[in-house]
A and B are shown apart, each in its own frame.
Chain A
Amino acid sequence: MIAQKDLIPVDNGGDPTKETFVLNLGPQHPAAHGVLRVLLTMDGEWIQRAEPVIGYIHRMHEKMGENRTWAKFLPNTSRIDYLSAMHYTHAFVGAVERAAKIEVPVRAEYARVITSELNRISSHMVWWGALLLDLGGFTPILYAFDDREKILDLLEALCGARLTYCYYRFGGLYNDVDDAFLKGTRDFVAHMKPRLKMYRELVTDNIILRKRLTGIGPLSADLCRRYGATGPVIRGAGVAYDVRRAEPYSVYPKLEFKIPTYPEADSMARYLVRMDEMEQSLFIIEQALDQIPTGPFIGKVPRVLKLPVGDTCYAVEAARGRFMVRIVSDGKEIPYRVKLRTPSFSNLSLYEEASKGMILPDALAMMGSLDLVIPDIDR
């Protein structure tokens, strides 16, 4: 809760040249994507203190997990971070499979990798367009959504949803990946490669963009570690931490890909990490398309799922970083506890410390480079 005293500016000791004011950024501000509110104590255009106020769309996902069956909670996970629903369902499904020791067919694992990586690209396209909007460039987002549309069409044909997918099921998939999807994905990879090259030439190498991101908002590896920042944020600080390699899951160990890191730790580094990640995702998809075997798409799952008593964790590399599900079962049909570790929450936590002394437009550029999704923070 915000106390009244927080809205009163810092005492300036009677010196009018040190006068500050509180700028209430959000929850309905065009730069905050969603209902994030940041209370900025400003000295002119310089930020003295930025306090994020969260919880405007808290939906009690963790509590909801405690009063419905394992299967019924599955659609909830895709609504936490609506932009990378595949990864989030993957984490929950993976946790349940690990606890119940359900075998997943190899074909299903490959299909999960393909759809997850497609989802990563679509999520990064939204981030890219939105960041450029934050920087005042209006055109890229329409190109980004054009590409994203192709992914959404593919996934819609596969599982019926365009945003909040519930494609992964315990032990496999909702339905098989058909030839039309595999061909469509190949076509998309062929389409996306020249597009990424075009974006690099037109946007990444633009001098105004470079000036606005290079050297802005440095987040050192130490700062990232203290606040638990993961994903492109910590990779942008030069740490090659990727859950797909650090805690291998699914068939990622069989696939080759690089973990893009940039030691500069500024907003440009985070930008470049995500741009490179999209290329790596395309590379992963190509390999998975080549390797995907035939066979069943769902394993043997008991009709009434009762997990053995125990405590299980499963982490995935979501588009924004490490998403982990911890489930505690007391042997009943309903979970005892579902703990969700979301990346955006940690990535936002460092904002207060990192934005100190920054000028307002730069602080907002840095916020854009963190790629926050508010439902992911509030849960």
Chain B
Amino acid sequence: MNFLQTEPIRILLYLVGICAFVGANAAYLVLAERKGAGRIQRRPGPNEAGFGGLLQPLADGIKLLAKQVMVPPGTDALLFRAAPLLVMAPPLMCLAMIPFSDSITARSLNVGLLFVFSFGSINVMALMLGGWASRNKFAIISSARVVSQNVAYEIPMLLVVITLLMVTGTMDLNEIIQQQGGGFWKWNLFKVWVNPLMPVTFVIFFICMLAETNRAPFDMAEAESELVAGAFTEYGGMGFGVFFMAEYANIVVGCSLATVLFLGGWQSPIGVLSGGLWGAGWFLLKLYALIFTVIWIRWTFPRTQFYSLLNLSWKILIPISLFTLLLTGAMMKLPVVYNHFF
């Protein structure tokens, strides 16, 4: 046991653990998505490989691995090959910060939140590089869209997070969760006495998260009916597979962050049974509930227009999140002002 606690071994274990977690999630969320889409569309979904289709991700993986990695002539070969790596690395880094339980965190940093956001933003660069290196008009249009979309949605997301930081007073994710202990009414989502608009900020965060991960109805990066496959048009085989898996890995990161910031992370909703493995259970339950919502939205709504997507951010989400920021500040200073004068 002591041997396992030593720092190099610990790091190695968490590294393997996170890679396995991301890999398994990316593979099986694809299956979950296809199964969920099947349910929504009244068809069975994949059900041939293995029991109830459980081996489908494996079959897909083998198929993708067996394909030749084509680098089209005239592309920037180095960037073309590097882009799938760059898109997969940030979610792996981000997950190192996420506390799965009070005792299960790969690396607890007191600026964990900042770390997650700084690495989360690299994702857009990787998509842009992939689109740029492809030397394809559809891909380059998609890249331009991805950049403007991500810039537009990063702002309300960060404003919402700043609002939250004013409430929590810390960037340590574990500490943020600890503040939300003792029942679901203590979660940041329901802290209406701090800021009556707290549920609205959660909705803004969720919308921004959908837009940041390029998920429907904001899937401008892929938009298959307009841009063939967007930034991934020229990718085939495992290059495409990695982009595809990274989308799910990013969803896992985004939903984990939403769980940590708003839904109490590993805290139990009823106030008891929140430590150790119970905590991990609660965390995963909340995480997968959010991920299911993401899948559900994708198969329900059509895609938005690109400019109404930007309008939504600049004209609606940013003003609202600025207002919540102001409101939270005012409500926090209210007792101070009161004490000062009376």
Q: Which residues of A contact B (CB under 8 A)?
A: 21, 23, 29-31, 44-45, 132-139, 142-143, 146, 206, 208-209, 211-212, 359-362, 364
A-B contacts besides A23-B138, A138-B41, 4 pairs, CB < 8 Å: A29-B228, A45-B144, A136-B223, A142-B41
Output the nearest chain A residue to B308 by Cβ-Cβ distance. Answer: A211
A142→B301 contact, CB < 8 A: no
* Cβ 8 A contact of A208, one of B145, B299, B301, B306: B301
Flag whether B226 is at the interface (Cβ < 8 A). yes
A136→B219 contact, CB < 8 A: yes
Flag whether B42 is at the interface (Cβ < 8 A). yes
Question: Which of B299, B305, B306 is most buried by chain A, counting CB atoms within 10 A of its CB?
Answer: B305
* Cβ 8 A contact of B302, one of A44, A136, A143: A136
Contacts of B228 in A (CB 8 A): 29-30
Contacts of B144 in A (CB 8 A): 44-45
* Cβ 8 A contact of A364, one of B37, B141, B219, B226: B226
Interface digits, B209-233 against A, CB 8 Å rule (1 contact, 0 not)?
Answer: 0000000110100011110100000
A136→B305 contact, CB < 8 A: no
A208→B224 contact, CB < 8 A: no
B42→A136 contact, CB < 8 A: no
Output the nearest chain A residue to B41 by Cβ-Cβ distance. Answer: A142
Q: Which residues of B contact A (CB under 8 A)?
A: 37, 40-43, 137-138, 141, 144-145, 216-217, 219, 223-226, 228, 299-308
19 residue pairs bridging A and B, Cβ less than 8 Å apart: A30-B228, A133-B225, A135-B225, A135-B303, A136-B217, A137-B301, A138-B41, A139-B40, A139-B299, A142-B42, A206-B302, A208-B302, A211-B304, A211-B308, A360-B141, A361-B305, A361-B306, A364-B225, A364-B226
Output the nearest chain A residue to B220 by Cβ-Cβ distance. Answer: A361
Q: How far is the CB of B35 from chain A (nearest CB, A)?
A: 14
Output the nearest chain B residue to A209 by Cβ-Cβ distance. Answer: B302
A208→B41 contact, CB < 8 A: no
B137→A132 contact, CB < 8 A: no
Q: How far is the CB of A222 from chain B (nearest CB, A)?
A: 27
B306→A31 contact, CB < 8 A: no
A124 to B119, CA, bound (A): 48
* Cβ 8 A contact of A138, one of B141, B145, B299, B307: B299
A138 to B297, CA, bound (A): 11
Contacts of B145 in A (CB 8 A): 45
* Cβ 8 A contact of B307, one of A30, A142, A359: A359
Contacts of A360 in B (CB 8 A): 141, 226
B306→A139 contact, CB < 8 A: no
Contacts of B43 in A (CB 8 A): 142
Q: How far is the CB of A211 from chain B (nearest CB, A)?
A: 6
A45 to B143, CA, bound (A): 12
Q: How far is the CB of A305 from chain B (nearest CB, A)?
A: 46
* Cβ 8 A contact of A137, one of B137, B138, B303, B305: B303
Contacts of B307 in A (CB 8 A): 359
A133 to B224, CA, bound (A): 9
Given A139-B40, A143-B42, is A132 in contact with B226 using a C-beta cutoff of 8 Å?
Answer: no
